[in-house]
Amino acid sequence: MNTTKKLIILCLGLFLGLSTNAQISSESRQKIKTLKISYVTEQLNLTTKEAEKFWPIYNSHDIKINELRLATRKNLRKIKEEHKYPNTISEKEAKRIVSFKMETDQKIHEEQLNFISKLKSILSYKKIIQLQLAEIEFGRNLMRKYKQRKRK
């Protein structure tokens, strides 16, 4: 078993140990974030110099993206609470919601373009692709383990 697989198993094991219910505490979130940093650093094989420049940009980007996604979720959740069924929403309100979602998606797209623009000066395009794949794989592994635990 190579070190990548061992790290994945370790990360997932720690995640399972941390999440005792559906709500993940802020302490657990921080530990997951730490595991993700370790996983991404290993997957990208970042040098110390690259890591020093990369992580502040990555963390700033991650915060912005999460804030934008949270705003969309809050907006949709509010509508769901106010209107049990979509057909009870007025056309004007539906238009506002769709417009808000489209504006948020545009902001996310712009943030991603800005993020890639900043990364180009630090990482090769190959490492940028590796980053995207590492994020996907890390998320999939966490969800897979979470689902397995939930079934038990």
Q: Which amino acid is at 134?
A: A
Distance CA 113, CA 116 (A): 5
Q: Which amino acid is at 37?
A: I
Q: What is the pTM of this model?
A: 0.72
* Local confidence band at 8 (pLDDT 50, 70, 90 cut-offs): very low
Q: What average pLDDT does this structure show over 35-59?
A: 91
* Residue recorded with tokens 């238009």: 95
pLDDT digits (tens, 9 = 90+) for 78-131: 887 887 666 778 888 888 888 999 999 999 999 999 999 999 999 999 999 999
What SS3 string covers the chain?
CCHHHHHHHHHHHHHHHHCCCCCCCHHHHHHHHHHHHHHHHHHHCCCHHHHHHHHHHHHHHHHHHHHHHHHHHHHHHHHHHHCCCHHHCCHHHHHHHHHHHHHHHHHHHHHHHHHHHHHCCCCCHHHHHHHHHHHHHHHHHHHHHHHHHHHC
Res 83: pLDDT:
75
